[in-house]
Amino acid sequence: MSLRVEGARKAFRAGGVVALDGVDIATEDELLVIVGPSGSGKSTLLRAIAGLEPLDAGRVLIGDRDVTSLPPAARDVAMVFQEAAVFPHLTVAANIGIGERARGAGRRSIEARVREVAGVLDVDHLLDRMPGELSGGERQRVALARAMIRVPAVCLLDEPLASVDAESRLRMRGEIRALQRSLGVPMVHVTHDQLEALAMADRVAVMHGGRVLQCDTPTALYARPATTAVARIVGPLPMNLLASEGRVVGVRPERIRLGGDGLRATVLAVEQAGEECLVRLEAPVEVVEGDLLARLPWTAAPEAGTSVTVTWRTEDEHHFDATTGNRR
């Protein structure tokens, strides 16, 4: 099955906001993660695919079907939201099976399907519990199980891990990946957490200002960001962007070294992060955005206020056009 969005545009009259400014995406049997800062249009795009938000222009195609003017129920799309909406007065099993029951499936067949999908999402030991007896992560898995009990044509997840604690979140990343593999349909997952995106995705679409700036594998996005904006959004830290004779030179903080014959700099601050540290530097170069940052092993941490030299290898440089911000 394939999912395509072509030339999607959407403006909200209130506030005159252009939420989608010509979005194209094409995906197949894979986990596509949409990442971008808050307000970049991610939810609007997902809602448009689901049929919850009519587009001003553009098309949504699922397989060979143009579903642009179809209502949500006719699109065969499963969607899970940030806040798992489960019915508090129904057991986990009844919550998961509710859609099948509404479709008039028999009791035996519902029970079998509930068991199967509960197994995939690791909630089979919770089937007799009430939602009030579940953790946030468990509730979210129940919501996923309910949405995926029947294999949909397309699966949409809107920040499903946002309100789940850090430990469950790590585990659920893997479970969502496994779910996509077992369903074998396009799964589009929205998050503002780019590390989550890089960790989970087959491909990542980076959104900013209602546009998709780049859509690529996590490895390619990190190694070859197409624009300075992508270079700032994707990675463990924003890329350093330095003005240099009509172009912008980018160097990742994790590629910066101290010492040797390089740029003179003053250490403004040092923050420890486990075995590493984040060093904020001031140097006689024009930093296009933010501060000059270096990520170093904690054992190599300099003292704040001291003077150091900063170096990097030429092969670790990324070059961008100063006017357009596009990779050169």
Residues that bind ligand ADP (CB under 6 A): 12, 14-15, 17, 19, 36, 38-44
Nearest to ligand ADP of 10, 169 (CB atom): 10
| Sheet order of strands, 65-66 included | 17-27, 3-12, 57-62, 65-66
Q: Smallest distance, Å, CB 207 to ligand ADP?
A: 6
Nearest to ligand ADP of 36, 235 (CB atom): 36
Both structure tokens of 4: 């395509």
Q: Smallest distance, Å, CB 200 to ligand ADP?
A: 18
Nearest to ligand ADP of 79, 92 (CB atom): 79
Q: Measuring CA to CA, how many Å separate 164 from each of 31, 134, 160, 168, 199?
A: 20, 12, 8, 6, 17
DSSP state of 225: -
Q: Smallest distance, Å, CB 79 to ligand ADP?
A: 14
Nearest to ligand ADP of 110, 212 (CB atom): 212
Q: Smallest distance, Å, CB 227 to ligand ADP?
A: 18
Nearest to ligand ADP of 44, 194 (CB atom): 44
Distance CA 296, CA 277 (A): 5
CB 251 within 8 A of CB 294: no
Helices (H), the chain: 42-50, 92-102, 107-120, 136-147, 166-183, 194-200, 218-223, 228-233
Q: Smallest distance, Å, CB 43 to ligand ADP?
A: 3
Nearest to ligand ADP of 49, 249 (CB atom): 49
- Which residues make Cβ contacts (< 8 Å) with residue 116, sequence separation at least 6? none
Nearest to ligand ADP of 203, 257 (CB atom): 203
Q: Smallest distance, Å, CB 19 to ligand ADP?
A: 3
Distance CA 297, CA 169 (A): 27
Q: Smallest distance, Å, CB 22 to ligand ADP?
A: 14
Report how far Cα 322 is from the mean position of its chain's Cα atoms: 28
